[in-house]
């Protein structure tokens, strides 16, 4: 509840406001609201009993790139998209070659519309503290009680 006091004294600058918007957009990409209890879900389709990995029979085989076991072991190492993007080095491609990084659509030539963050109708005002929009005194009250500074770390 100490946030309530903060809100009156703190005014977020534009950078922080943009950061909050970005944080919110990232939240919208989540698969699960709550954290996944990791252990309960892994049902062991890829992970073989550890000790068999050490028994290396690949020497006996023909010069195949690697054993299936080794491949699966490599792939069970989790890497997120950011790590894979970095590994792909597509940021170093010549500028005339389109990649994932270059095809994102640009921004609209029309100004953004303003909606009340509480009720979703058109809004004419922004909260002096956090910059979120509201449409009426009633919605401002709700905003101050529940939403204001919610995304601030």
The residues pairing with 133 across neighbouring beta strands, listed in sequence order, are: 126
Contacting range for another protein; rule: CB under 8 A; set: 4-12, 43-51, 53-61:
43-51
Taking the C-alpha atoms of residue 38 and residue 79, their distance in angstroms, rounded to an integer, is 15
Q: Which of another protein, Zn ion, none sits in contact with 104, Cβ below 5 to 8 A by type? A: another protein
Is residue 10 close enough to count as binding another protein by CB under 8 A? no
Nearer to Zn ion, 6 or 86 (CB): 6
Q: Which residues within the stretch 66-105 sit at the binding site for Zn ion (CB under 5 A)? A: none
| Least CB distance to another protein at residue 9 (A) | 25
Distance between CA 32 and CA 14 in Å, rounded?
29
Residue 152, classified by CB atoms within 10 Å of its CB into exposed (0-12), middle (13-18) or buried (19+), is middle
Smallest gap from residue 133 Cβ to Zn ion (A): 8
- CB nearer another protein, residue 51 or residue 78: 78
How far from each other are the two terminal CA atoms of the chain, in whole angstroms?
14
- Residue nearer to Zn ion on the CB measure, 27 or 56: 27
Q: Contact 135/116 with Cβ under 8 angstroms?
A: yes
Q: What residue 116 binds from Zn ion, another protein, none (CB within 5 to 8 A, per partner kind)? A: Zn ion
Tracing tokens 């640009």 back to the chain, one arrives at: 106
Q: Which is nearer to Zn ion, 20 or 129 (CB)?
A: 129
Backbone angles phi and psi of 134, in degrees to 5: -145, 160
């Amino acid at each position: 509840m100490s946030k309530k006091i903060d809100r009156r004294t703190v005014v977020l600058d534009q950078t922080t406001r943009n950061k909050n918007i970005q944080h919110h957009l990232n939240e919208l990409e989540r698969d699960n609201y709550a954290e996944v209890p990791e252990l309960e879900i892994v049902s062991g389709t890829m992970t073989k009993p550890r000790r068999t990995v050490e028994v290396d029979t690949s020497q006996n085989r023909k010069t195949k790139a690697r054993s299936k076991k080794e491949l699966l072991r490599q792939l069970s190492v989790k890497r997120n998209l950011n790590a894979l993007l970095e590994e792909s080095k597509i940021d170093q491609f010549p500028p005339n070659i389109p990649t994932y990084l270059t095809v994102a659509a640009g921004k609209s030539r029309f100004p953004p519309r303003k909606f009340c963050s509480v009720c979703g109708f058109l809004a004419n005002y922004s909260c002096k503290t956090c910059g979120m929009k509201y449409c009426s005194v009633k919605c401002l009250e709700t905003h101050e009680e529940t939403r204001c500074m919610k995304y601030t770390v």
